[in-house]
Amino acid sequence: MAGMTITEKIMAYNSGRDKVKPGELVWADVYSVMTMDYLGQSTFKTLHELGKTEVFDRQRVICVSDHLVPPPTPAFATMLNQWRQLVRQHHIKYFYDLGRQGIAHQVMVENGHVLPGKISIGTDSHANTYGAVGAVGNAVSVTDAAVAMAIGKCWFRVPESVKFYVTGRWQPYVMAKDLSLHIMGMMHWNGHLIYKALEFAGPAIEALDIAGRMTLCNMTVDLGAKNGIVAPDQKTVEYLRPVQKDNWEMIASDPDAQYEAIYEIDITNLGPTVALPDKLDDVVPIEKVVGRKFNKAFVGTCTNGRVEDIAIVAQILRGKQVHPEVNFILVPASQQVYLEAVKAGYIADLIEAGVAVDTPSCASCAGIHTGVAGDGDIILSAGNRNMKGRMGSKNAQIYLTSPAVVAASALTGVITDPRLL
């Protein structure tokens, strides 16, 4: 009998099975369920419709305020107040509200609510991020989340697995984001990765820190995949040790596991990569767009708002000045990230260089607040989506790229290759 991939093993072990096959539907135990400010109310409402007044485990239902904080309008402020009341009413142990907030996916991983070999779900599309520590992370609807909050279970279709085996050495200033965008260009968002489990392995993946693995797994949802995953290793052990909420065991794909496809990518020649406005998979090497003008720069989001991302921005900007015609906003992914960046001196570097640093939230990536786009804006963003209107005005253009490219370009006012600074 053929072996199983890591995703199949996680699906099997958490649904009381020895073995699962792609295509099979299973009810599996979920380790943690995340919901956040703007969908949380509906989730709790559905929980009540199920006849429940309590969640299955108040330590494993995680509530986060991230999309609406700090509230820019009285309507949002009121919504947040109603949300807080609901969270308190259910005695949720881990509530990351304004003051202790962060983007939900960052908060879930950095606080050890996601563990290798287990399944965690959330009511936001980028829950795929959890695969960075060897979990199956999945976005679900309000109804599915409410069911999981009630009974600790969710149904899943076992996905076919596709492996990306990545070799070669990372060039300076080339980041996990460049690989994400490169794969997007190679496979297309509406390509055959839809509903697949994407497994990232090989020396170049082992070389990535957890932050880079989070970026990579985060954007698998934008490839249409069900989940993205990196098997846990010593880096995972060290990352989780101080924060994990439970014990866990090492897990990996069997050597004879079946994949629908295996792609080998050598990143030796991979340089900074850019997605052109409006389409995620309209991806080019930076050389094709060097010199193009833009007027706004943005670094943040669950894709690239971590301290490692801020570090590279600070390193590039240190002692220099952002171009006078560029407005640069940086939003750390969580209060914890923010604090680390302050202590490391990065925030001082950024402010001295002329960057506006704002309080952790989803910010303009949700198109709601903190530097939304206006008509005619051309934005160079380290976020995850570039569809028309994503950051505000439909008459704005969004280029997606890495934090290193955003920083290097912010100095010159035109798209610039950070390797050539």
Partner 1 sequence: MREKIIRGKCWVASGYVMAYDMVVQKYWTDPVDKQLNSRYIMSGVAPEFEADNAFKNAGYTFIVAGHNFAGGGKSIEHVVTGLMGAGIKAVFADSFSRLQFRNATNYGLPFITVKDLVSICQTGDELEYDMQANTVKNLRTGQVKETAPLAPFVLEIAEAGGLVEFIKRKIADGTAHLLR
Closest CB to partner 1 among 29 and 206? 29
**Interacting stretch for partner 1, rule CB under 8 A, among 192-200, 328-336, 359-367, 373-381?**
192-200
Q: DSSP secondary-structure letter at 269?
A: G
DSSP per-residue string spanning 384-418: S---TTTTB-TT-EEEE--HHHHHHHHHHTB---G
- Cα–Cα dist 40/63, whole Å: 8
Q: Does 195 bind partner 1 (CB under 8 A)?
A: yes
CB of 26 to partner 1, least distance (A): 7
Note whether 150 binds partner 1 by CB under 8 A: yes
Q: Which residue lies nearer to partner 1 by CB, 143 or 244?
A: 143
Residue in this structure with the two tokens 């069997």, named with its chain if needed = 254
Alpha carbon distance 319, 148 (integer Å):
50
Quote the tokens at residue 196.
Answer: 């697949």
Q: Among 19, 91, 157, 169, indicate the residue that binds partner 1 (CB under 8 A).
A: 157
- Binding segment (CB under 8 A) for partner 1, from list 47-55, 82-90, 162-170, 345-353: 47-55
Q: Is residue 45 within the footprint of partner 1 (CB under 8 A)?
A: no
Spatial contact of 383 and 304, defined as CB atoms under 8 Å apart: yes
Binding of residue 325 to partner 1 (CB under 8 A):
no
Using rule CB under 8 A, residue 291 touches partner 1 = no
394 binds partner 1 per the rule CB under 8 A: no
- Helices 210-218 and 307-317 pack at an angle, to 10 degrees, of 110
Candidate residues 4, 20, 115, 140; the one interacting with partner 1 per rule CB under 8 A: 140
User: Using CA atoms, how far apart are residues 255 and 232, in angstroms rounded to an integer?
Assistant: 16
Figure out which of the listed residues 3, 19, 27, 343 binds partner 1, where binding follows CB under 8 A: 27
For residue 261, state whether it binds partner 1 (rule: CB under 8 A).
no
Q: Does 186 bind partner 1 (CB under 8 A)?
A: no
Burial profile 177-211: b = 16 or more Cβ within 10 angstroms, e = fewer: bbbbbbbbbebbbeeebeebbbbbbbebbeebebb
Rounded to an integer, what distance in angstroms lies between the CA atom of residue 355 and that of residue 318? 11
Q: Is 48 a binder of partner 1 (CB under 8 A)?
A: no
Is 154 or 208 the residue whose CB approaches partner 1 more closely? 154
**Could you tell me if 201 and 232 are in contact, meaning their C-beta atoms sit under 8 angstroms apart?**
no
Q: What size, in residues, is the chain? A: 421
- Residue 147 Cβ, how far from partner 1 at the closest point, in Å? 5
Nearer to partner 1, 26 or 344 (CB): 26
Nearer to partner 1, 24 or 233 (CB): 24
Given a contact cutoff of 8 angstroms between Cβ atoms, the answer to whether 212 and 126 are in contact is no
Q: Which of 78, 85, 141, 321 binds partner 1 (CB under 8 A)?
A: 141
| Total of chain residues touching partner 1, rule CB under 8 A | 31
- Choose the stretch contacting partner 1; rule: CB under 8 A; options: 2-10, 63-71, 136-144, 366-374: 136-144
Of 147, 166, 201, 214, the residue at the interface with partner 1 (CB under 8 A) is: 147
Q: How many CB atoms lie within 10 A of CB 12?
A: 19
Q: Which residues contact 231 (CB under 8 A, 6 or more apart)?
A: 6, 116, 134, 199, 201, 251, 252, 253
- Spatial contact of 176 and 216, defined as CB atoms under 8 Å apart: yes
389 lies in the site for partner 1, by CB under 8 A: no
Nearer to partner 1, 156 or 338 (CB): 156
User: Quick check: 16 binds partner 1 (CB under 8 A)?
Assistant: yes
Q: Is 224 in the site for partner 1 (CB under 8 A)?
A: yes
Helix, strand, coil distribution of the chain in percent, nearest 5: 35, 20, 45
153 near partner 1, rule: CB under 8 A = yes
Residues that bind partner 1 (CB under 8 A): 15-17, 23-28, 46, 49-52, 140-141, 143-144, 146-147, 150-151, 153, 155, 157, 190, 192, 194-195, 224, 226
